[in-house]
């Protein structure tokens, strides 16, 4: 049974779907939900589900990314994860941190990578007049929002879309995509999951 740690910064809707899927014959189970924000609502949701949680406030380490990561590594390594899922985790990780988990750390990004790495992805897709948008699950490498593709979900961009309405449509697909990718990844299957919403 693979041990999965999930890192989040906010509400944790992706974490929730991953946890809800890790039951029965699923080859993985959640062992930790951790955040850079002690107030993250996702921590409360995880605790309500009986999942061990940890929080390291990144604001306690101003201009000290390595110090923050060293503090985060304590509960993370103690949980002995086989796989790490970044799910709405909004801190950039140093190459040293990534190197520790490269090949078994996944991230979900709300764009059709390689388009729109970074922030404000939906506004950028609308601004560019794209017909489609979506989300990508990829293996984390030291390059931000880069790395081998494990899954992608596409949705149409509608004429009257705002960044919020598009984000909501993409999020529905994220909640299908990430669990499907993790289930295959934990089983050793690397064939990309491609969904059309
Ligand atoms: C989602 O749009 C996800 O793509 C991005 O963070 C947002 C919120 O995620 N990485 P969650 O609801 O906290 O899982």
Cα 87 to ligand 1 centre (Å):
6
Residue with CA nearest ligand 1 atom 1:
88
* 3-state secondary structure at position 25: coil
Examine the residue annotation and report whether 120 is marked as an active-site residue of this protein: no
Residue 107 confidence class, pLDDT cut points 50, 70, 90: very high
Torsion, Cα of 59, 118, 52, 104 (10° steps): -130
Q: Choose the CATH number for 107-197 among 3.50.50.60, 3.40.50.170, 3.40.50.2300, 3.40.50.180.
A: 3.40.50.170
Secondary structure letter of residue 80 according to DSSP: -
In this structure, the residue with its CA closest to atom 5 of ligand 1 is 88
The 10s digit of each residue's pLDDT in 25-83 is 999 999 999 999 999 999 999 999 999 999 999 999 999 999 999 999 999 999 999 99
| Per-residue pLDDT tens over the stretch 154-194 | 999 999 999 999 999 999 999 999 999 999 999 999 999 99
Q: Domain 1-101 belongs to what topology?
A: Rossmann fold (3.40.50)
């Amino acid at each position: 049974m693979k041990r999965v740690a999930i890192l989040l910064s906010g509400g944790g809707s992706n974490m929730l779907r991953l946890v809800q899927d890790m039951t029965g014959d699923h080859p993985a189970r959640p062992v930790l939900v951790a955040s850079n924000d002690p107030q993250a609502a996702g921590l409360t949701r995880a605790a309500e589900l009986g999942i061990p949680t940890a929080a390291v406030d990144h604001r306690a380490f101003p201009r000290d990314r390595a110090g923050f990561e060293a503090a985060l590594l304590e509960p993370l390594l103690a949980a002995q994860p086989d796989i790490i899922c970044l799910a709405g985790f909004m801190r950039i990780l140093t190459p040293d941190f990534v190197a520790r988990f490269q090949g078994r750390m996944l991230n979900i990004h709300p764009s059709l990578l390689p388009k729109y790495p970074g922030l404000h992805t939906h506004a950028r897709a609308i601004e560019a007049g794209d017909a489609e948008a979506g989300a990508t699950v990829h293996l984390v490498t030291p390059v931000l929002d880069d790395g081998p593709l494990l899954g992608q979900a596409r949705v149409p961009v509608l004429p009257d879309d705002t960044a919020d309405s598009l984000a909501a449509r993409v999020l529905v697909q994220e909640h299908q995509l990430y669990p499907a990718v993790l289930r295959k990844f934990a089983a050793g299957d690397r064939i990309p999951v491609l969904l059309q919403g």
